[in-house]
Amino acid sequence: MNPFENALEQLARAAAVAPVDTDLLARLQHPEREVRVAIPVRMDDGSERIFEGYRVQHSSLRGPYKGGIRYHPDADIHEVKALALWMTMKCAVANIPMGGGKGGITVDPKQLSKSELESLSRGWVRALAPILGPRVDVPAPDLNTTGEIMGWMVDEYNKITGDKTGAGFTGKPLKMGGSEGRVLATGLGGFFTFDALRKKFGIKEGASIAVQGMGNVGGNAAKIFSQYGYRIIAMSDSRSGIFKEGRLDVDTVLAYKNTNASLKGFPGARGISNEELLEVPVDVLIPAALENQITASNAGRVKARMILELANGPTTPEADDILFRRGIPVVPDILANSGGVIVSTFEWEQNLKRQQWSEKKVLEKLKKIIVAQSGIVFERSQALRTDLRRAAFLVALGRLETALKKH
């Protein structure tokens, strides 16, 4: 399952539902630039190791390239290309003035010491600085990259280029020019999307929720949904999961994972595998970890009444078809997890204007965008009698077509 092929397939499927400019489609099938770099790192034992890093600049039709950097042993150029294409679509669905890009390093960060991780992160910036910049390409965090890592990166970038705006990277710590609300943004944006759409699919307040992934996105989403009165009944991390019929206390689960590094042995809940988590009887399933989790082989067994994609690319095109036939709506990643890039764009704007907005202002602006765009995507899906993913792609494609005509 090559994620870039899946992304192209999604593009083709949307274009089969309504007319799309063929020049635009050809542009989007070919990232504007793909770069692979070798990053030498002096390890703590004195040896040198070379890591492979990537940046894919997919489309600048609507603004500077924007997208996170992923650290993962399975990260490769195909995955980064897919993620970059989705960023182009996501920024267009959110209607923010950004294009799409993505970066990565093939590495298991858990195997590195903190100083090795810092050298690697600074090395990625040194290798790619000539093609980055506040008006050119603005990276952010993704899987296994944190505010602290963004802090090292922006510091390295500023040293190399003399940039004083700090707008070259987003998702930075507050004291380094980060924005209020950025840490919560993806999970909270997911909640706003869900809340704008749930009634249309008959999901009631207090419904049950299962969350795969407990990082920035999944952990915060679980907290936010439970604060709004929803019942979290299943959670998982990369190693294992837990299920409890009534509800899990999310803060206790997160604290347990922090202390024990895993959910194994969590008292008062049944241990389940990650695969089982996707098939538990639940109102809303939230994949918030990796791509290709819901596939042709398990989509028939999903019991959720609605899927809210907070990870990028968790559902394959074949699984989309099965779920559509079964009447299970999938709120697509390019809409549901756009909160992160929306608040990243607010951070970029604050840096360029030398402003610092309050958390209240940031979250109100976020909510306004997400609620409006969720409504537009839903209406388009109704008008075309198609699923929300095709509808979201078509909303994005319409905006990209307008940009292409202006170029």
Residue 371 contacts residue 188 (beta carbons within 8 Å): no
- CB atoms under 10 Å from CB of 26, counted, come to 9
With binding defined as CB under 6 A, does residue 366 bind ligand NAD?
A: no
Taking the complex as a whole, the smallest distance from the CB of residue 46 to ligand NAD amounts, in Å, to 29
Q: Which of 66, 81, 90, 102 is catalytic?
A: 102
With binding defined as CB under 6 A, does residue 214 bind ligand NAD?
A: yes
With binding defined as CB under 6 A, does residue 212 bind ligand NAD?
A: yes
Please return the burial class of 61, using the count of CB atoms within 10 Å of its CB with bins 0-12, 13-18 and 19+.
Answer: buried
With binding defined as CB under 6 A, does residue 217 bind ligand NAD?
A: yes
Residue 343 contacts residue 179 (beta carbons within 8 Å): yes
DSSP-based three-state secondary structure for 151: helix
With binding defined as CB under 6 A, does residue 398 bind ligand NAD?
A: no
Taking the complex as a whole, the smallest distance from the CB of residue 308 to ligand NAD amounts, in Å, to 12
Helix axes 3-15, 317-325, angle to 10 degrees: 50
Q: Could you tell me the CA-to-CA distances from 357 to 174, 187, 262, 341 in Å, in that order?
A: 11, 20, 36, 16
C-alpha span between 391 and 380 (Å, rounded): 6
Taking the complex as a whole, the smallest distance from the CB of residue 266 to ligand NAD amounts, in Å, to 14
Take residue 15 and report the two structure tokens written for it.
């274009």
Determine the residue with CB nearest ligand NAD. 215
- β-bridge partners, 307: 285, 330
**Which one of the spans 111-119, 196-204, 284-292, 396-404 is the region binding ligand NAD (CB under 6 A)?**
284-292
Taking the complex as a whole, the smallest distance from the CB of residue 17 to ligand NAD amounts, in Å, to 25
With binding defined as CB under 6 A, does residue 374 bind ligand NAD?
A: no
Site for ligand NAD in 320-339 (CB under 6 A): 337
With binding defined as CB under 6 A, does residue 238 bind ligand NAD?
A: yes
Nearer to ligand NAD by C-beta: 143 or 370? Answer: 143
Nearer to ligand NAD by C-beta: 168 or 218? Answer: 218
Binding mask 152-191 for ligand NAD (x = CB under 6 A): ----------------------------------x-----
Taking the complex as a whole, the smallest distance from the CB of residue 147 to ligand NAD amounts, in Å, to 10
Write out the DSSP string of 206-227.
T-EEEEE--SHHHHHHHHHHHH
How big is the site for ligand NAD, counted in residues (CB under 6 A)? 24
* 95 phi and psi angles, rounded to 5 deg: 60, 40
C-alpha span between 120 and 123 (Å, rounded): 5
Nearer to ligand NAD by C-beta: 203 or 286? Answer: 286
With binding defined as CB under 6 A, does residue 87 bind ligand NAD?
A: no
Q: Could you tell me the CA-to-CA distances from 61 to 140, 216, 396, 397, 404 in Å, in that order?
A: 19, 29, 12, 11, 6
102 is catalytic: yes
* Selected binder of ligand NAD within 8, 94, 143, 150 (CB under 6 A): 143
Taking the complex as a whole, the smallest distance from the CB of residue 131 to ligand NAD amounts, in Å, to 21
* Selected binder of ligand NAD within 64, 99, 141, 317 (CB under 6 A): 141
With binding defined as CB under 6 A, does residue 104 bind ligand NAD?
A: no
C-alpha span between 210 and 235 (Å, rounded): 6
With binding defined as CB under 6 A, does residue 274 bind ligand NAD?
A: yes
Taking the complex as a whole, the smallest distance from the CB of residue 187 to ligand NAD amounts, in Å, to 9
* Selected binder of ligand NAD within 31, 100, 103, 340 (CB under 6 A): 340
* 311 phi and psi angles, rounded to 5 deg: -75, 165
* 13 phi and psi angles, rounded to 5 deg: -65, -40
Instruction: Describe the strand order of the beta sheet including 241-243 as a list of residue ranges.
Output: 270-272, 241-243, 231-236, 208-212, 284-287, 306-308, 330-331
Residues at the site binding ligand NAD, with contacts judged by CB under 6 A: 141-144, 186, 212-218, 236-238, 274, 288-290, 310-312, 337, 340
Q: State the catalytic residues.
A: 102
